[in-house]
Amino acid sequence: MSPRTTTLLIVLIAAALGSWYLARSDKPAEIDTLEFDSRYSGYYLKSARILGTDTDGSLLYEIEAAHAEQQSKDRIEFTEVRIRYSPDAEIPWIVHADEATLREGSPRIALRGHVRAVGTGENDQDTEIRTQYLELDPERFVAETDERVQIRIGARSLTATGMLASLNDNKVELKSNVRGKIAP
């Protein structure tokens, strides 16, 4: 073996040992010992669909949202929300909102931003309720707000401050500052 070949062989062995030493890193062991940070323990969903059931387990309503994210252990935030009742429930109302909050242990859904509830009445005239904030209890079929609300039934229009609506009875109680425009 020539001195040149011996030198080349020694350099190659040194390079192989050096790359092996650098490749065996302790990084996985460090990652395994990192503490769990509970700030990131929630979940998020795109094109979310959440089903609500009644006492016997049959479908009562569904919440559809473009995005749903668990903000804390007991709170879920939704964006671009639509809530509608099951056809079997015979509640002809659909509720839309920019955002919604659902809290564990509370039956109410807090809806915010361009809230619009549309229901078909007995005369096939749509009733439309608009407000910026609405609390919906889908299991009791109740919608309530203390904010300004506008109600349209055909060509008729009413505005008020505060409202309590029973969606299964198609009854609306306006709380104060009621103003209206009734066309013949």
Residue 109 lies in a domain: yes
Identify the sign of the CA torsion 54, 88, 93, 97.
positive
95 lies in the same domain as 25: no
* Structure confidence at residue 163 (pLDDT): 94
Residue 173 lies in a domain: yes
17 lies in the same domain as 51: no
Q: How many CB atoms lie within 10 A of CB 29?
A: 8
16 lies in the same domain as 56: no
* Structure confidence at residue 4 (pLDDT): 80
* Structure confidence at residue 168 (pLDDT): 87
CATH code of 76's domain: 2.60.450.10
- The amino acid at 75: R
Residues 3 and 13: their CA atoms lie apart, in Å, by: 15
171 lies in the same domain as 123: yes
123 lies in the same domain as 149: yes
120 lies in the same domain as 51: yes
* Structure confidence at residue 122 (pLDDT): 67
63 lies in the same domain as 151: yes
- Rg over alpha carbons for the chain, rounded to the nearest Å, is 30
Residue 37 lies in a domain: no
Domain hosting residue 149, numbered range: 43-181
Closest residue by Cα to residue 107 from 129, 135, 85: 135
* Structure confidence at residue 41 (pLDDT): 64
* Structure confidence at residue 84 (pLDDT): 93
146 lies in the same domain as 166: yes
Domain count, the chain: 2
159 lies in the same domain as 69: yes
| Residues with Cβ within 8 Å of residue 109, at least 6 apart in sequence | 63, 83, 100, 101, 102, 135, 136, 137, 138
* Structure confidence at residue 27 (pLDDT): 55
CA 13 to the chain's CA centroid: 60
List the pLDDT tens digit at each of the 184 positions of the chain: 788 888 877 888 888 887 777 777 555 555 555 565 555 567 888 999 989 888 888 899 999 999 999 888 889 999 999 999 888 878 889 999 999 999 988 889 999 999 999 988 666 778 899 999 999 999 899 999 999 999 998 788 899 999 999 988 888 898 988 888 776 6
Whether residue 126 contacts residue 119, with contact meaning beta carbons closer than 8 Å, is answered with: yes
Residues 53 and 35: their CA atoms lie apart, in Å, by: 38
Residues 77 and 71: their CA atoms lie apart, in Å, by: 7
91 lies in the same domain as 127: yes
- For the segment 126-166, what is each residue's pLDDT rounded down to a tens digit? 889 999 999 999 989 999 999 999 999 878 889 999 999 99
49 lies in the same domain as 26: no
168 lies in the same domain as 142: yes
Residue 105 lies in a domain: yes
